[in-house]
Amino acid sequence: MTGRPAVLRGVAAGVLATLLAGCGVLPALPDAIPSDVVPSRPSGFSSPSADGELSPDGFDAVQRMAVRIRNVGCGSLSTGSGFAIDEHTLITNRHVVADSQSLEVSTYDGRDLAVSAASTARLADLAVVRTQDPLPSHPRIAEDDPEQGDEVSVVGYPEGGELTITAGSIVDSTTDPLNENLGEVLVTDAPVEPGSSGSAALDAEGRVIGVVYAKTSDGHSLLVPRSTLQEMLADSGAFTALPPCS
Amino acid sequence: MLAVLLAAALGLGGYLWLTTVRWQADSATWEAEARGYADRVATLRAELEATDAELVSAREQLATATERISDLANEKAQLGDENVASQQYLDYQTQVSEAAGAVATAMDQCVDAQTQLIGYLQDSDAYDQKDLDRFSTEVRKLCKQADAAHEQLQRELQQDQ
């Protein structure tokens, strides 16, 4: 008679133990609903910044740094191109500004900039023109000369017409066939025309790698390399004041 | 023992009921929240599409405006070139006119002086020979000046060729 209660107690104990063990797998009560689940800033989202990469007027930086130069001579008129290297200085060719009575500089949007001074290099077909009015934009000069095959963009005013960007690549380097420059010059297949002289030649990142100064008979164009430009700019005696025409 | 089991079963049942009710409420709240955000997403999508359309339109207008600015800048440059060329041509014409006027004046003076000299020579006995020689020299000088003015005019004309 003592065996039956013992069995019942064992079963009850087993059920109770099972129930208690089952409590461990019961679902917990839900947490309180947070009042706001919207993150303060979505991950991976970045606001645009006005750090100079944005155009203030819809024109590219390469267009904004180009200028058109009108050389009013003593009974002559010619046009060329140039580009800014700082807020009041632009680079062009010596032959673009030579024999001038006055130089007239205009920007991509047709504004006229007053010229304060001009000087030319003796050992390269380069000239520096200073403006009283600030230039809209200026590019960086590349740290190295380009290699053969590198992309080139030329920004200027061929035939004195509209601002034009042409593309090509560096095809060679050679000694100057015109004997206007000391050292080697670059050859590119980017199309240029008369009036493009003084145009900036830019690499794929928009940095200056040379200055257009001539066109060859086989349709290629010649560039004063940026190394020559920088050497001239670093030499205070490399440029002399431009004499007026007579 | 049965009482304990009953109590445990009731407790368990109560807990499960409470859990179910809480999860149901929680689920309903989340669903409402999700539907609210879904509505917001739909609204934002519509706003984004409208903004995209405005952006496309603004870009097209900007492209048109920049193209027009470039055209105007070019037209202004061409007009400036033409203005300079016209001014230079005007200056040239002025120089030529002045040179032609100088030639005409000098030729007039030369002809007048030569006419006067011829008159003197026709009645040479009435004049001192030295005076005639001096006047003749002055006439030659005047006519040389006329020649020089004529040559200057020729040079001005050759500049245009």
The pLDDT tens digits for B66-116 are 999 999 999 999 999 999 999 999 998 898 888 898 889 989 999 999 999
**Does the residue B6 lie in any domain?**
no
Q: What is the pLDDT of residues B14-25, one digit of tens each?
A: 999 999 999 999
Mean pLDDT of chain A: 88
Domains contained in chain B, number: 1
What is the model's pLDDT at position B161? 57
**Does the residue B57 lie in any domain?**
yes
Q: Do A161 and B74 touch (CB under 8 A)?
A: yes
Q: Which domains does chain A have, with CATH numbers?
A: 61-137 (2.40.10.10), 151-234 (2.40.10.10)
Cα angle A158, A159, A163 (rounded to 5 degrees) comes to 40
**Does the residue B125 lie in any domain?**
yes
Q: Do A70 and B81 touch (CB under 8 A)?
A: yes
Give the dihedral sign, CA B100/B103/B105/B107.
negative
Q: A17: pLDDT confidence band, cut at 50, 70 and 90?
A: confident
- Average pLDDT of the residues in A104-111: 96
Q: Is the pLDDT of residue A22 over 80?
A: no
β-sheet bridge partners, residue A102: A72
What is the model's pLDDT at position A47? 65
What is the model's pLDDT at position A1? 47
In a mutational test of the B interface, the residue from A31, A74, A109 whose CB has the highest number of chain B CBs within 10 Å is A109
Q: Does the CB of A5 have a partner CB in chain B at under 8 Å?
A: no
Q: A34: pLDDT confidence band, cut at 50, 70 and 90?
A: confident
**CA B159, CA B149: separation in Å to the nearest integer?**
16
**Mapping DSSP to helix (H, G, I), strand (E, B) and coil, where does residue B10 land?**
helix
**Does the residue B4 lie in any domain?**
no
Q: Which of residues 84-113 of A touch B (CB under 8 A)?
A: 104, 106-110
Q: B63: pLDDT confidence band, cut at 50, 70 and 90?
A: very high
Using alpha carbons, select from A157, A161, A166 the residue that is nearest to residue A191: A166
Q: Residue B99 sits in which domain range?
A: 31-159
Q: Which residues of A touch B71 (CB under 8 A)?
A: 162
Mean pLDDT of chain B: 91
Q: A28: pLDDT confidence band, cut at 50, 70 and 90?
A: confident
The phi-psi region of residue A110 (left if phi > 0; otherwise alpha if psi is between -120 and 50; otherwise beta) is: left
- ipTM of the complex in this document: 0.80
**Does the residue B2 lie in any domain?**
no
Q: Is the pLDDT of residue A12 over 60?
A: yes
